[in-house]
């Protein structure tokens, strides 16, 4: 079973400062400057999720249906590769949105919020996979506790075992990033062990972070997002006349380098200079895109983009199931014909609305409801609130 390239998208929680895990929303006057909801960040989450979804549709059909059709592979290789770039954009967004959360909440409350934000939906799809795989034995190597338990605990990155839920491999990166960032910030700012011991622990945690980035280079995208947050909170931006040209240049670089090949950002692959270009250009584009008045912010000021941002985590976990079922039906009915452009267009016309409909159901039942049940507050601002922020 190969490592899937869908992102695990960290989705930003409610921008409130609360004293206990189940407290009600606090006054907006208590918000810090860095807590303001940014609708462009929110929309970019949705765009990244949609990119990965479409990449899996295009690439999956190529691998499983038209693998012997060179024309299909030649035309779709670049968009397939660039769709995967959405994974790394998600990681940058995660770094950007997580820093205020770890500064605002205690480690206990931070962990609870991340748990109710991510785990119910993840667990539901994991159990579906475990049950189906136990019945079908499609992946016999995954039908044992040595793989199942690390996957359910989201530590499979450290145990070097497979994640079970399709697309959820990146959640291991996310959870490891959350834990190290939360502990580092807690030690550095709150000094729970006393000034001297806390400083020592902070240095050790910083060394651990550097080691993790070396061992798992994809984690450098989180660091890029943190750097963007620090710059953004201080209002440090290029002169207004340069912003759009630089934004276009950075995006063009992401488009080119992201399209020419697939990147896994594994340690053994880091001799490739193109990988470093993607590592640098992705946070650079994000930094310029989220600035007020950016070209990206104007293009994404749409209800559809905002909605995709809201359901992006559900879309990320749900779409492999609808895609697989739809592809299986199309194959059984012989709907993938020799005219592959028409067949692909027909397939997309079916799988996109079906997936979005399923995503909405999943979002309401498994993503929004558990968080609201425990914290008595919404996961996200409504659009009109975001516009006022």
Q: What is the SS3 assignment for 141-165?
A: HHCCHHHHHHHHCCCHHHHCCCCCC
Q: Please, are residues 139 and 1 in contact by the beta-carbon 8 Å criterion?
A: yes
CB-neighbour burial class of residue 234 (10 A; exposed 0-12, middle 13-18, buried 19+):
exposed
Q: Token pair for residue 33?
A: 């400057």
Q: Please, are residues 76 and 62 in contact by the beta-carbon 8 Å criterion?
A: yes
Q: Token pair for residue 185?
A: 């910030």
pLDDT value of residue 166: 85
Any residues with CB less than 8 A from the CB of 278 and at least 6 apart, and which?
A: 85, 88, 254, 257, 258, 263
* Residue at token pair 């079973």: 1
Return the half-sphere exposure (C-beta side, CA atoms, 13 A cut-off) of residue 101.
Answer: 27
pLDDT value of residue 101: 93
Q: At what angle do helices 70-104 and 220-233 cross, to 10 degrees?
A: 50
Q: Token pair for residue 226?
A: 């943190």
Task: Note down pLDDT in tens along the chain; length 389 residues.
Answer: 444 433 333 333 333 333 344 443 333 334 444 457 899 999 999 999 999 999 999 999 999 999 999 999 999 999 999 999 999 999 999 999 999 999 999 999 999 999 999 999 999 999 999 999 999 998 998 999 999 999 999 999 999 999 998 889 999 999 999 999 999 999 999 999 999 999 999 999 999 999 999 999 999 999 999 999 999 999 999 999 999 999 999 999 999 999 999 999 999 989 999 999 999 999 999 999 999 999 999 999 999 999 999 999 999 999 999 999 999 999 999 999 999 999 999 999 999 999 999 999 999 999 999 999 999 988 875 554 433 33
**Greatest extent of the chain over all pairs of C-alpha atoms, in Å:** 70
CB-neighbour burial class of residue 328 (10 A; exposed 0-12, middle 13-18, buried 19+):
exposed
Q: Please, are residues 55 and 84 in contact by the beta-carbon 8 Å criterion?
A: yes
Helix and strand totals (H; E) in the chain: 16, 0
Return the half-sphere exposure (C-beta side, CA atoms, 13 A cut-off) of residue 364.
Answer: 5
Measure the CA angle with vertex 323, ends 319 and 324; round to 5°.
120
Q: Token pair for residue 288?
A: 């310029």
Cα gap 352→361, rounded to integer Å: 15
- Residue 231's CB: how many other CB atoms inside 10 A? 14
Provide the whole-model pTM: 0.89
Q: Which of 6, 22, 185 is nearest to 116 (CA)?
A: 22
| CA dihedral of residues 101, 107, 109, 110 (deg, nearest 10) | 40
């Amino acid at each position: 079973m190969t490592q899937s390239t869908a992102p695990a998208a960290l989705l930003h929680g409610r921008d409130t400062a609360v004293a206990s895990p189940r407290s009600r929303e606090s006054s907006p006057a208590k918000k810090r400057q860095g807590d303001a909801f940014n609708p462009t960040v929110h929309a970019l989450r949705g765009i990244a999720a949609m990119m990965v979804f479409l990449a899996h549709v295009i690439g999956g059909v190529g691998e499983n249906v038209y693998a012997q059709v060179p024309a299909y592979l030649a035309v779709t290789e670049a968009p397939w590769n660039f769709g995967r770039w959405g994974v790394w954009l998600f990681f940058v967004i995660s770094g950007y949105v997580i820093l205020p959360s770890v500064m605002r909440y205690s480690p206990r409350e931070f962990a609870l919020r991340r748990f109710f934000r991510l785990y119910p939906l993840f667990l539901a799809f994991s159990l579906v996979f475990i049950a189906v795989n136990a019945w079908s034995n499609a992946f016999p190597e995954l039908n044992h506790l040595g793989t199942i338990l690390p996957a359910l605990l989201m530590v499979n990155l450290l145990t070097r075992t497979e994640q079970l839920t399709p697309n959820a491999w990146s959640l291991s990166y996310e959870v490891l990033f959350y834990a190290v960032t939360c502990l580092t910030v807690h030690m550095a700012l709150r000094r729970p062990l006393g000034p001297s011991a806390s400083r020592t622990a902070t240095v050790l945690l910083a060394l651990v972070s550097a080691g993790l980035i070396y061992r798992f280079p994809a984690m450098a995208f989180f660091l890029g997002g943190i750097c963007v947050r620090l710059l953004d909170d201080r209002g440090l931006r290029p002169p207004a006349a340069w912003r759009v040209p630089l934004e276009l240049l950075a995006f063009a670089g992401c488009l080119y380098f992201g399209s020419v090949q697939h990147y896994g950002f594994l340690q053994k692959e880091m001799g490739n200079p193109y990988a470093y270009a993607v590592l640098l250009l992705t946070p650079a584009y994000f930094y310029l895109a989220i600035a007020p008045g950016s070209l990206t912010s104007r293009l994404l000021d749409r209800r559809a983009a905002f909605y995709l941002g809201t359901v992006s985590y559900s879309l990320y976990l749900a779409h492999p199931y609808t895609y697989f079922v739809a592809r299986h039906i199309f194959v059984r009915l012989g709907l993938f014909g020799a005219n592959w452009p028409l067949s692909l267009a027909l397939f997309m016309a079916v799988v996109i609305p079906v997936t979005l409909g399923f995503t909405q159901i999943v979002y309401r039942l498994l993503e929004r409801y558990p968080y609201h049940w425990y914290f008595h507050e919404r996961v996200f601002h409504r659009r009109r609130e975001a516009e006022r922020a």
